[in-house]
Amino acid sequence: MKRIIVISLTCFVFLTAFVPNKTTRIFLAGDSTISIKPQRVWPETGWGMPFATFWDSTIEVRNKAMNGRSTKTFILEGRWQNILDEMQEGDYVLIQFGHNDESVEKKERYTPPDSFQLNLRRFVNDVRAKKGFPVLLTPVSRRRFKDGNAIPTHEAYSPLVKKVADDLKVPFIDLDTKSRELYQRTGESASKLLFLQLEPGEHPNYPEGKNDNTHFSELGARLIAQIVLAELKSQAPALISHIHKP
């Protein structure tokens, strides 16, 4: 009898050793500052690209961000519904918009402040309805200096994100402020290395050069992704144990 029990326990341990851990998905909803970049625009890099490498095998990052999208167009094009269709209970959705919502001159993207807040509230409520975990992020700052100081570039829309987060008690990352602090520490000149700043002939994808203070280089994307990861340790502590350890 004892032998049968021992054999049964051994078989149980053997079988459970091969039961895969449940995969948790982290969805990224946002614009070109996050999105996956095709080879033709390298070295432009969205921060979602290095972010996906920070996790162990129990986490799957699904980067749904897309260039030029606002909350309005993300909904109208069915991209938000696509996230809801794929997500499962216990998944996370990181939501960062504002860059294109505030583009008054581009009417197809522009989202008035009231509508912007309503869209963010919808995102939060939709994720919670599916028993997921939303995280709101302010839009990452553009690079802009005045008298040696990195200055705000999303004065109107970043506070709206914080208001929605406060009202709905949602985990919140002030990426606007945190990224601007990074630029300040790096310095006005050296912070160019964080962005798509290229001299003519420096890269075959940009023979005439590039002077872009919105989109990141590989280095800039990685440092922004590291900021997001550090903030998640306090805003979503359940994820800490899933950070990849070399």
Q: What is the pLDDT of residue 21?
A: 57
pTM: 0.90
DSSP letter for each residue of 19-69: SPPPPEEEEEEE-TTTSPPPGGGTT-B-THHHHGGGB-TTEEEEE---TT-
Q: Which domains does the chain have, with CATH numbers?
A: 21-241 (3.40.50.1110)
Surface-to-core class of residue 208, CB atoms within 10 Å of its CB (0-12 exposed, 13-18 middle, 19+ buried): exposed
Residue-wise pLDDT for 104-145, tens only, equals 988 899 999 999 999 999 999 999 999 999 999 999 999 999
User: Euclidean distance between the first and final Cα of the chain, in Å?
Assistant: 45
Q: What is the pLDDT of residue 195?
A: 98
